[in-house]
Amino acid sequence: MSRLTRRNFLQVSAGLAAFSGIAGTPKEAGASPGKEALATLIDCTRCDGCVDHDVPLCVAACRERALNRIPDPVDPIPPLFPRGMIEDWSKRKDVYDRLTPYTQLFIQRADVPVDGGIRTVYLPRRCMHCDNPPCATLCPFTANHKYPDGSVVIDPDLCFGGAKCRSVCPWNIPQRQSGIGIYLEIMPTLAGNGVMFKCDLCHDRLLNQQLPLCVEACPRDAMVIGLRRDIMKEAERRAAETGGYLYGLTENGGTGTIYLSPVPFEEINKVVEKGPGRPHFDKVSRRPARASLMETSVLMSPVIGMGAGLTAAMLAVRNRVKKKGEGENDD
Amino acid sequence: MTDRVIEGKNLVRRHSVLELVEHWAIALSGLLLILTGLLELPIGKRYYVTEIPWFSWSGDFYTTLTIHYIAAVVFVAASFFHVFYHGLLGEGGLLPRRGDLKESIKVIKTFFGKGDEPPFEKYLPEQRLAYMGMAFIIAMLIISGLVKTYKNLLDPQLSYAVTSAATWIHNIFFVLFIAAFIAHIAALVIKPNRPMVRGIFTGTIRLDYARGRHSLWMAALERTKTPSTDDGRGGEREEVAGTGARKDGHVLPGEKPDPGNETGSERTNDKKEEL
């Protein structure tokens, strides 16, 4: 029912058809699920925030999955030593206006002043699935990993909930639920603080050739997922066609989530509510920077050491030979 | 190769300046790696480290990572230098030998008053074993660390198996590295070993201690009659082997007159025990 044959999956050879409501077969991606990088286009010219619904449909679908996957925390949640804030969202599962462990996707509303009036833009926010995700590369326990299909996935069985991923994420996306996870089995008071949660692009569903739930749930086809190169092309095409603006192409060195908006993101960023669980739309440069001098030096250091060792050894041998020669001459 | 007696000062040179530089480059960068490695865990803020004066950076993972990288450049380069330099020169005095394990147990027993110490070479058998252990830990840390750096630099999508293996090898050997560091320091606290401590700061240890405890090394050193010019004071001197007297009978300026049968002479050792 929710196989990738739905129109929401951008067809490789007939991208336009995919957006015009004609169902087709995404042969290339469908043939090797999980192996090829995917990306998502979030078309905010189409999203209406599901204002007629109590909860936007994409948010509701995502939340349903989270509710089924996140266990109830222990009661009471162990206190932290010497300090640290317990983050318990289990009693506030119906918070929809920000990211939480249970709301891994929410709709951000931007009332942007345009030509003397106000243009309201709805922006579904979730993990950007960066090309170079610092949350994954810097996780001390490999509890967070970027897979070949482009999804960045936290393993709840390995995560200690230290929230380093949230600190290093340019948008501070991951959210913590204390009182669950592996840390309870080790030193719950001294180390760890739960499990971090964020959108994983429905990685398990993608492997089964199913669409992410949010993409599937959207009644206006505001979200499309497809092969990365096709999504990038489509985003550029739509932006050119509508005079729209794109976000996510270059942010943090490139991401797997491209937003298309009818108004500039600088203007959106000025008016959206920002703060914990409510990400910004700033320009973001990649961190750690690609091919930074420091990292390159680390990779070169064995060669530097070898070269210096070889040179010093040769000099030492030469000195010895020289000394020996001088000694013989003295004799 | 620089091992030699400096008798006028009751000293024997145990480490060359180059070896001291190698040791301290690895030791100090290693300590910085331990510190910044610990701070890669989210503990800076939680454990008030960020509130220690001058340590506000400790909660910023990008800063700690940059410092980790800087220290890693020194650590890795110095380690590779060490292996290549001494390896190419065939200097293997710190490499374990057959029977070292048995000997080590005997020696450790003597620390608790059981039995007498056997005569030692330049290095104690447990020093040779500890060296190999530390070298193995460092090798694993370097290999896994380079893989992690490569992942961060060039390939964030490196396979989960490789990434996970590198991460856990790095974490496990990080703990072992801290344990080995503590053991290394603990060994220096043991009373009979204390006279060796000055060696890693000055390059020299007391001659009477060396003759008493490292008699095999000293015997080899003193068997050799070799002229030396590397005494830091210039001038070539030569000792009449076994007599402790120099041919010219001259005492150089700044050198104490010979106490007992020791003269201001130096001997070098052809034995390759620098490593």
How many C-beta neighbours within 10 Å does residue B154 have?
14
Q: Which two tokens stand for residue A124?
A: 């579904």
Tell me the backbone φ, ψ of residue A114, rounded to 5 degrees.
-135, 125
pLDDT of residue A32: 59
Contacts of B38 (CB under 8 A, 6+ apart): none
195-224 in chain B: CB under 8 A from chain A: none
* ipTM score for this prediction: 0.87
Q: How far is CA A302 from CA A147, A232, B79, B83, B142, in A?
A: 29, 39, 8, 11, 9
pLDDT digits (tens, 9 = 90+) for B192-239: 999 999 999 999 999 999 999 999 999 988 887 554 444 434 333 333
pLDDT of residue B93: 87
Strand partners, A176: A196
End-to-end CA distance of chain B: 10
Question: Quick one: which H or E segment has residue B5?
Answer: strand B4-6
Please give the Cα distance from A137 to A69 (Å, whole number).
24
Q: Which two tokens stand for residue A165?
A: 């991923």
Task: Judge if the upstream peptide bond of residue A76 is cis by omega within 30 degrees of 0.
Answer: yes
Q: Which segments in chain A show pLDDT lower than 50? A: 1-2, 5, 11-31
On whether any CB of chain A is under 8 Å from the CB of B131, the answer is no
238-297 in chain A: CB under 8 A from chain B: 287-288, 290-292, 294-297
On whether any CB of chain A is under 8 Å from the CB of B161, the answer is no
Q: How many angstroms from the chain centroid is the CA of residue A121?
A: 22
Q: Which two tokens stand for residue A141?
A: 């326990």
Q: Which residues of chain A have a CB within 8 Å of the CB of B83?
A: 309
CATH number for the domain running over A9-290: 3.30.70.20
Facing A294 at nearest CB: one of B70, B78, B88: B70
Q: Which segments in chain B show pLDDT lower than 70? A: 1, 225-275
Measure in Å the smallest separation between the Cα of B109 and chain A Cα atoms.
Answer: 36
pLDDT of residue B7: 75
Helix (H, G, I), strand (E, B) or coil at B224: coil
Q: Are A318 and A326 in contact (CB under 8 A)?
A: no
How many C-beta neighbours within 10 Å does residue A25 have?
16
Q: Helix, strand, coil % (nearest 5) of chain B?
A: 60, 5, 35
Question: Quick one: which H or E segment has residue A59?
Answer: helix A57-69
pLDDT digits (tens, 9 = 90+) for A5-49: 455 666 433 333 333 332 233 333 444 567 889 999 999 999 999
Please give the Cα distance from B267 to B272 (Å, whole number).
14
pLDDT of residue A328: 67
Q: Are A150 and A203 in contact (CB under 8 A)?
A: no
Q: Which two tokens stand for residue A236?
A: 């550029």
| Residue B96 per-residue DSSP state | -
Map out the domains of chain B with their CATH numbers: 10-101+113-199 (1.20.950.20)
Q: How far is CA A182 from CA A68, A134, A185, B153, in A?
A: 18, 22, 5, 30
